[in-house]
Amino acid sequence: MNLKVKIFLLAIVPFALAIGGITYGVRQQAQSLAQVQHATTQAAYVSSKEIELRHYVEIAKSTIAPFYGPPPGDPRSDEERRRLALDALQRLDFGQDGYFFVYTMHGLSLMHPRQPDLVGRDLWLMRDPNGALTIQELVRQASQGGGYVRYLWRRPSTGLLAPKLGYVVPLERWGWMIGTGIYLEDVETTLARIDDRAASNIARTLTWIGVIALAALAVIAICAAVLNISEHRSADAKLRRLARQVVESQEQERARLSRELHDGISQMLVSVKLLLESALARFERSAAREPTAEAALSTGLGRLAGTLREVRRISHALRPAMLDDLGLAAALEQLARESNGQDGIEVLFDSTGTGESLPDTINTVLFRIAQEALNNITRHAKASRAQLTLAVARHAVTLDITDNGVGFDVPAVLSDPMRGLGLRNMRERLDTLGGALRIDSQLGRTVIVASVPLPLAAPNLQGHADER
């Protein structure tokens, strides 16, 4: 094997392994983010539909309230009031496949707007194709005070069996069960559309990585053929830029997911919350109070508020909006406030200069380093105090993270392949900007200093902008 082949293999094999690792890492990260998005969207969407169903049933109960609980001296018979209540429910619907149904607690169908042939029939023993006793499951849930049931039912608009989420409540005095439901095919269609978009984005990202990898392989092949030292340095620079592009593509995907959660799902949840709060206020102002309904609605509002907070937390964790809107200093101050008090650790922040005019790439790198450092302090340092200090000068920007924890052996951690992954990631992020990471640790004091020389980082950033 001649020298040219050896040099060629020496360049190609590590590069191919690196590209394979980067591709696998990007793919796994993108799929993980897509799974988180799917789960979050599904939970939020189903939760909003459950609250919507409960709201519909409350509207139905309020519609028949004058018949179910008539004022004293009402001349109408109980039978007449039942008939008027069924007529009122018959006229209520929402959308093509949204309707209310009424059964006795023994399975006799009293009202079904979309399937009138079922009215008057005893459906107690009716089974779906899986052998489940559908009506008995609904009655059992209603007899326990009301709740949600998933079952199969024929969809009126298509005539085909489809999964359905129903909500039922009892009317004890009349021995009735009333309820409504939505077909889950719409939820599955929405989630499938989101999954398709995520898969398309992943495929596009991997395609770009493949194109960049092929271009870099061509450059390496030329370098190996002519044995030119300057070309080897150029190939190394390309690899650095490729690594930076991969990291930035992840940040862009995080930002996109964060915006979709904040501007889409979060706004939908806020809208539903406002509607439920309005309904609860009307209940409380009503002369005929329904304590059970008010309590159920209040519980639903509490759970919706919790879901909304969780969506906002995930959105903020993916990409804090303050980092893009107000700059690095404001984002680090917010991070310190959020971390302050967690696990008994006091987190403080101080800054000199302003981080508003720093490039986005520097903002992202230093913010992620601060996040990783605080996570390490929380998990390992056993500290009671941590300090973040940002110093922005004319020629450099420096981030200092200090804690009073137990410390660690820096060389041992960095040389151990099973440990120190976060510290190595910090150093690799800074390397792409020409920055440096300094770590000093001893018992009672650990200092991590990340610095980026702005005149050195500026050409790198400008070259990256030219590529894009």
The string of pLDDT tens digits covering residues 64-100 is 988 888 777 778 888 899 999 999 998 888 878 889 9
Split at pLDDT 50, 70, 90, the class of 254 is: low
Q: Cα–Cα distance between 429 and 274 in angstroms, integer? A: 43
Over residues 16-55, the pLDDT tens digits come to 787 788 888 877 877 788 788 778 877 888 888 889 899 9
Q: What is the mean pLDDT of residues 410-425?
A: 83
CATH class of residue range 321-467: alpha beta
Buried b (16+ CB within 10 A) or exposed e, 37-60: beebbeebbbbbbbbbbbbbbbeb
pLDDT in tens, 340-353: 888 889 999 998 87
Give the type of residue at 269. Answer: L
- Residue 399 and residue 422 in contact, taking contact as beta carbons nearer than 8 Å: no
Q: Does position 445 have pLDDT exceeding 70, yes or no? A: yes
Cα–Cα distances (Å) from 125 to 108, 143, 171, in that order, read 10, 17, 22
CATH topology of domain 93-183: Beta-Lactamase (3.30.450)
- Confidence tier at 323 by pLDDT (50, 70, 90): confident
**Average pLDDT along the chain:** 80
Mean pLDDT score, 141-157: 91
C-alpha 135/C-alpha 172 separation (Å) is 17
Distances, alpha carbon 433 to alpha carbons 58, 166, 331, 410, in Å = 59, 56, 20, 23
The CB density around residue 414, as the number of other CB atoms within 10 Å, is: 13
Q: With 0.75 as the threshold, say if the pTM is over it.
A: no
pLDDT interval class at 466 (50, 70, 90):
very low
Pick the more confident residue, 316 or 291: 291
pLDDT digits (tens, 9 = 90+) for 178-237: 999 988 887 777 778 888 887 888 888 888 888 887 887 777 767 666 654 565 566 566
Per-domain residue ranges of the chain? 3-47+188-318, 93-183, 321-467
Query: What is the mean predicted confidence (pLDDT) over 147-153?
Result: 93
- The span from the CA of 412 to the CA of 420, in Å, is 9
Mean per-residue pLDDT for 251-276? 65
**% of the chain surpassing 70 pLDDT:** 78
pLDDT of residue 467: 42
Quick check: do 93-183 and 321-467 share a fold? no
**Least confident span in 166-170, 323-327, 357-361:** 323-327
pLDDT at 294: 67
DSSP state of 118: G
Confidence of residue 57 (pLDDT cuts 50, 70, 90): very high
Residue 461's pLDDT is 43
